[in-house]
Amino acid sequence: MVNSDGAAGTGRLFVVATPIGNLGDATPRSIEVLKSVDAIAAEDTRRTRKLLAHFGITTRLLAYHDHNEERASRELLERIEGGEDIALVSDAGTPLVADPGYRLVSSCAERGLEVVAVPGPSAVVAALSIAGLPPQPFHFAGYLPRKSGQRRTRLASLAGLPCTVVYYESPHRITAALKDMHEVLGDRKAVVARELTKVHEEILRGTLGELSAVVERRTLKGEIVVVVGGPGKDEA
């Protein structure tokens, strides 16, 4: 293991946060890094290409996603050890947070390669900041299982956490997920944040029972974050 400066002659891995919707949220530093690195490892090259085009960035794109993560990680490690600087981006927000990248970052750390954070947008933090529920401590639970039985088991395992819990959810499952949350967790205070920072941003507030009833009558689209208050005093 070498020090944090990395081994001589090696490149660096930049973990770059990108906008979750509003392109104006891209930081000057993130744009500079994406322009200057040798290549960008992207979860979805088509989506990232649109971001790069907006800022006039022509850096080479490499695919890095769940289906090729093992092979792509080996190839990226070889590039970094060979002296290249690589930027890692996800579809939106901060890489590794419910997105690919852990294998690559962990391998770089194990080999003593320099990993540089380029912080910025995160749907988790954005939702938590406007929810009006206790912001700390909080637990990020990521996506819940697709099947109701597994989802309820997962919710039951989280029910006793004495803190606010943040979930990502698909628009196709949000109705069923809220119903399961209400039945497993009780009628806690919660917030459904949809399309954060985008044109059709919407924030729904209420108890899990109220939100479940509202969403059951509607069709929600886009990216969704659910913030649920902890048990006890934060429960309605």
Q: How confident is the model over 138-184, as pLDDT tens digits?
A: 999 999 999 999 999 999 999 999 999 999 999 999 999 999 999 99
| CA distances (Å), origin 206, targets 45, 165, 184, 203 | 38, 15, 17, 10
Q: How confident is the model over 18-32, as pLDDT tens digits?
A: 999 999 999 999 999
Domain ranges of the chain: 12-118, 123-234
Are residues 161 and 195 in contact, defined by beta-carbon separation less than 8 angstroms? no
12-118 against 123-234: fold identical: no
* CATH class for the domain made up of 123-234: alpha beta
Q: Answer with the residue of higher pLDDT: 124 or 66.
A: 124
Going by C-beta distance under 8 Å and a sequence separation of 6 or more, which residues neighbour residue 186?
208, 231, 235
**pTM of full prediction above 0.85:** yes
Give me 79's structure tokens: 């590039």
The answer to whether the peptide bond before residue 231 is cis (omega within 30 degrees of 0) is no
The CATH architecture that domain 12-118 belongs to is: 3-Layer(aba) Sandwich (3.40)
